[in-house]
Amino acid sequence: MSPPAQEAVATGVAKDGLFIPLIDFGMFLHGDEAEKAAAVKGVIDGFKNAGFLYLKNHGIPKETVDKVFATSADFFARPQEEKDAVKWLTPESNRGYVAAGREKASQVTDSAATIDALRSSAPDLKESIEIGRDDHPTMPNNWPFGDPEFRSTMTTFFSTCQALHVQVMRAIALGLGLDEAFFDGFIDAADNNLRLLHYPPTPAAVFKRNAGQVRLGKHSDYGTVTLLFQDLRGGLQVRSPQGSWVDATPIEDTIVINAGDLLARWSNRIIASTEHQVVEPPSEPVDGQYPARYSCAYFCNPNTDAYIEALPGTFATEEEKHFPGINAGQYLVQRLSQTIKY
Ligand code: FYU
Ligand code: NI
């Protein structure tokens, strides 16, 4: 007799009507036909219902992720002026260092005045560095000075994540009844964004003083899918269908994957781009202070020049299309220019 089949889908989070599956993505990547089909179903159901999934056996080695986190921590430990020397300049480039207080994550419907008011009353408690593909003809990365290892670690990781991005989009294509390779030609430029994030140690009193204080304000992501690598500190919350905030508790050696607004548009809202935020951690503070949290978000996007309109099979009549078509690059620049001060 053959050994019992491993399940492709388990429960990651289940609360208040929010069901985030934990998918064994190894079954998609290396499984037989039935395992692959089960993984595809888990992926598409998770994207439809929650807009979020956890992936295990995703093929990115733990040592690779550990090295990226260590290299990221070294960067954020540099003196402020060295970080400011590589600062983020324009939404078109979306590369470089974003100091604490500069970005206020927010919703697409918030007005500029609302976002400014939020930024000054409850600034996001984080700093980040944004990294784009390193082979762009006109937009170079802002690499920290004198650290060739930072550059090689991050460019390698960028390509590793792009390979997983392609596989996730293949699973989505199959889940939507499209050819497995449907998205390949729309995402082969790797116009993605690797964001290293540092949420500095924060006194618990900061959260007590201001009811609206968070580490990262509520928002939905802009692109197609985000691959989120998080440490074990916690604090990420996802909006449930009932409107409550549910902890997306870290699960070791998994990647959190969530759908962005461009994928919601592309899929004519079959896939959900769910709001999320990062708040005061669930653990007890130590000596009145919460420790630092680190994460890496790999924001996947269609090619800059891709035109995004409702996918075949997602509508019967023109009236059923929820959104007009748009150019991917223009859409992303518009979203970025709303949230980061420049
Ligand atoms: N930067 N894409 C996003 C995002 C920030 O989705 C990006 O490039 C969300 O916070
Ligand atoms: Ni996000």
Q: pLDDT by residue for the chain (342 residues), tens digit each?
A: 555 557 999 999 999 999 999 999 999 999 999 999 999 999 999 999 999 999 999 999 999 999 999 999 999 999 999 999 999 999 999 999 999 987 766 676 677 766 666 666 667 899 999 999 999 999 999 999 999 999 999 999 999 999 999 999 999 999 999 999 999 999 999 999 999 999 999 999 989 888 888 999 999 999 999 999 999 999 999 999 999 999 999 999 999 999 999 999 999 999 999 999 999 999 999 999 999 999 999 999 999 999 999 999 999 999 999 999 999 999 999 999 998 777
Query: 55 pairs with which residues across the strands?
Result: 23, 255
Cα 298 to middle of ligand 2, angstroms:
10
Q: N- to C-terminal Cα distance for the chain?
A: 64
Taking the C-alpha atoms of residue 157 and residue 159, their distance in angstroms, rounded to an integer, is: 5
Which residues, including other chains, have CB under 8 Å from residue 203's CB and lie 6 or more apart? 285, 288, 289, 290
C-alpha dihedral (284, 289, 291, 295), degrees to nearest 10: 90
Atom of ligand 1 nearest to the CA of 223: 6
192, 199, 299, 301: residue to mutate for ligand 1 pocket, most atoms within 8 A of CB: 299
Cα 190 to middle of ligand 1, angstroms:
15
Contact 63, 160 (CB under 8 A): no
Contact 278, 235 (CB under 8 A): yes
Q: Which two tokens stand for residue 219?
A: 């928002």
Q: Phi first, then psi: what are they for 45, rounded to 5°?
A: -65, -40
Which secondary structure element, helix H or strand E, spans residue 283, and what is its range? none
List of E strands, the chain: 9-15, 18-24, 52-56, 96-98, 127-131, 193-199, 202-203, 216-219, 225-230, 236-239, 245-247, 255-259, 276-278, 289-290, 293-299, 307-308, 326-327
Cα 31 to middle of ligand 1, angstroms:
32
Atom of ligand 1 nearest to the CA of 193: 8
Cα 275 to middle of ligand 1, angstroms:
12
Nearest C-alpha to atom 10 of ligand 1 is from which residue?
221
CB atoms within 10 A of CB 302: 26
Which of 266, 299, 61, 264 is CA-nearest to residue 165?
A: 299
User: Nearest ligand, CA of residue 238?
Assistant: 2
Query: 96 pairs with which residues across the strands?
Result: 130
Q: Dihedral sign for Cα 81, 200, 239, 48, please.
A: positive
Cα 8 to middle of ligand 1, angstroms:
29
Which CATH fold topology does 5-339 show?
Answer: Jelly Rolls (2.60.120)
Q: Which two tokens stand for residue 29?
A: 């990547």
Q: Phi first, then psi: what are they for 276, rounded to 5°?
A: -150, 165
Q: Which two tokens stand for residue 221?
A: 């992501």
Domain boundaries, the chain: 5-339
Cα 340 to middle of ligand 1, angstroms:
10
User: Nearest ligand, CA of residue 275?
Assistant: 2
* Confidence (pTM): 0.94
Q: Which two tokens stand for residue 329?
A: 């690059």
Q: Which residues line ligand 1 (CB under 6 A)?
A: 94, 105, 193, 219, 221-223, 260, 299
User: Nearest ligand, CA of residue 277?
Assistant: 2
Quickly count helices (H) and strands (E) in the chain: 10, 17
